[in-house]
Each structure stands twice: as C-alpha cells, then as structure tokens.
C-alpha cells in the first residue's frame, strides 16, 4: 500500500464531492486539466487535492474563461499539488477586468433590450441587439451579427 493511500480518491468519490459527472472528469483529463494518480480496482484514482483544482476550474468558468483558457493558466502549475491561495490570488487578479467588461456589455444589452421590446423589427441592419454600435454598417455586408 502506498504511503499516500489515504490521500487517493476513486473517481466516483471525486464526482460526488465535486458535483461533476465522471464523464466530465474524464473530459477534463482529455483536456489536460486534471490527471489521475493511478488506478485501483479498475477505476481511476485521484489525489485528494484534485478537488481544489476542480474548484479552481469551476471558479474560472464562472468568471467566463473557456476550458482552453483555463488549461493555459493551469499548464505551468504542477499537478502533484493543489493550487495555493497565493496562486489563486495571483491568477484571478487580472480577471477583474473581464468581469468589468462583461458588466459593461450586459448593461448595453439591457439597454438594447428595452429598444427591442418597444420595436420588434429584428432588422439585421438596425436592431440594436443584432447590430450593436452599428458595426455591420461600418464593415459593409457580412454576417457580423452572428459573432
Ligand atoms: S427589434 Fe427593433 S431594435 Fe431590436
């Protein structure tokens, strides 16, 4: 028995504790976000600190980062220990700007929605939701509104 046996959790246990399905955990593994410690009884085992890593991933997603972006952030961090509070502070600080930007975007969207409720045109040229800041007009034709 390994000296760290107590620190190992089966994938089903990690799933229960994190609220993520085992399929999601395997997907995260494929994405390189987490790494199993080994196998026991045919099932993946993880170090207990994977839970903190999963909490980190969930928090980053709430801030609006894609899994690919989270992978980039986590890549230089060793998988053999949990991200520390200092890691989390250092990494999350620049995300304040993202949340600020998202708030500005949502505020604009909220204002545009008022226009739409009073209108209903859904015109790709003039609807303020489909064509914020009249971007399509500035760029010529093309499905700019799809982005
Ligand atoms: S529906 Fe007319 S402005 Fe959006």
Give the single-character DSSP code of 135.
Answer: H
Domain of 121 in residue numbering reads as: 98-146
105-127 burial code (b ≥16 CB/10 A, e <16):
eeeeeeebeeeeeeeeeeeeeeb
Q: Please tell me whether residues 87 and 25 are part of one structural domain.
A: yes
Residue 78's SS3 state is coil
Probe ligand 1: pick from 124, 128, 133, max atoms within 8 Å of CB? Answer: 128
Q: Atom of ligand 1 at shortest distance to CA of 119? A: 2
User: How far is Cα 21 from Cα 52, in angstroms, rounded to an integer?
Assistant: 16
- Return d(Cα 111, Cα 128) in angstroms, integer: 9
The answer, yes or no, to whether any atom of ligand 1 lies below 6 A from the CB of 124, is no
What are the tens digits of pLDDT across the range 15-47? 999 999 999 999 999 999 999 999 988 999 999
Which atom in ligand 1 lies closest to the alpha carbon of residue 126? Answer: 3
**Total domain count for the chain?**
2
Are 126 and 55 members of one domain? no
Instruction: Kindly state if the Cβ of 113 falls inside 6 Å of ligand 1.
Output: no
Residue 89 and residue 108 in one domain:
no
Query: Do residues 124 and 135 lie in contact, with contact meaning Cβ atoms separated by under 8 Å?
Result: no
Q: Kindly report, residue by residue over 90-134, the tens digit of the pLDDT.
A: 888 888 988 999 999 999 999 999 989 989 999 988 898 888 765
Same domain assignment for residues 107 and 63: no
**What tens digit of pLDDT does each residue of 59-72 get?**
999 988 999 999 99
One domain, residues 77 and 13: yes
């Amino acid at each position: 028995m390994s000296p760290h046996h107590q620190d190992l959790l089966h994938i089903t246990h990690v799933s229960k504790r994190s609220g993520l399905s085992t399929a999601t955990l395997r997907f995260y593994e494929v994405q390189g976000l987490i790494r199993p410690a080994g196998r026991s009884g045919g099932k993946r085992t993880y170090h207990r600190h994977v839970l903190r890593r999963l909490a980190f991933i969930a928090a980053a997603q709430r801030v609006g980062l894609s899994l690919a972006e989270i992978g980039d952030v986590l890549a230089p961090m060793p998988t053999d220990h949990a991200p520390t509070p200092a890691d989390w502070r250092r990494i999350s600080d620049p995300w304040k700007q993202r949340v600020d930007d998202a708030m500005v975007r949502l505020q604009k969207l909220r204002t545009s929605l008022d226009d739409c409720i009073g209108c209903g045109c859904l015109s790709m040229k003039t609807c303020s939701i489909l064509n914020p800041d009249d971007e399509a007009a500035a760029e010529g034709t093309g499905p700019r509104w799809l982005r």
